[in-house]
């Protein structure tokens, strides 16, 4: 079976992301997301945007998914969660041993995550590989 997110560890977080993708991509569910020329998935399932733009200009309507990593992203995460139907809020929690830890700027967001039903993605526990090895 082809793993949609091969760089991710098989955790409840990965399963929730895959369930969300399945829910919004099902034409029978009436929440079908149409692909825009502004984004794409690469080989390991990473979502790439062509260029960062203000959220309202990018979509023209309330998004169904938001990803943040600090307290400054709370409003965006709440805004996306207000959409009727399936939504996904992800809060990326960095691992200080491998990367700069964002805890000093994410205390409130981390506290709100459970109540707001945002997934907290652990760089340490949810990914097998963050950066691919360099090739000569």
Greatest Cα pair distance, the chain, in angstroms, is 48
Contact 71, 62 (CB under 8 A): no
CB neighbours of residue 134 within 10 Å: 5
Kindly list the domain boundaries of the chain, sorted by start residue: 12-52+60-122
Cα-based angle 131, 38, 129 (whole degrees, multiple of 5): 15
Q: What is the pLDDT of residues 52-91, one digit of tens each?
A: 445 555 556 778 888 888 899 999 899 888 877 888 999 9
Q: List the chain residues with pLDDT less than 50.
A: 1, 32, 36-44, 48-53
């Amino acid at each position: 079976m082809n793993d949609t997110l091969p760089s991710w560890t098989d955790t409840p977080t990965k399963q929730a992301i895959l369930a969300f993708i399945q829910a919004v991509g099902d034409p029978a569910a009436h929440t079908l997301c149409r692909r825009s020329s502004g984004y794409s998935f690469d080989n390991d399932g990473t979502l790439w945007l062509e260029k960062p733009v203000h959220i309202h200009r990018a979509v023209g309507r309330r998004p169904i998914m938001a990803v943040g990593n600090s307290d400054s992203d709370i409003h965006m995460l709440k805004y996306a969660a207000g959409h009727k139907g399936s939504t996904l809020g992800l809060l990326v929690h960095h691992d200080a041993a491998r990367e700069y830890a964002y805890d000093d700027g994410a205390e409130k967001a981390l506290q709100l995550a459970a109540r707001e039903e945002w997934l907290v993605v652990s760089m340490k526990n949810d990914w097998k590989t963050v950066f691919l090895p360099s090739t000569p």
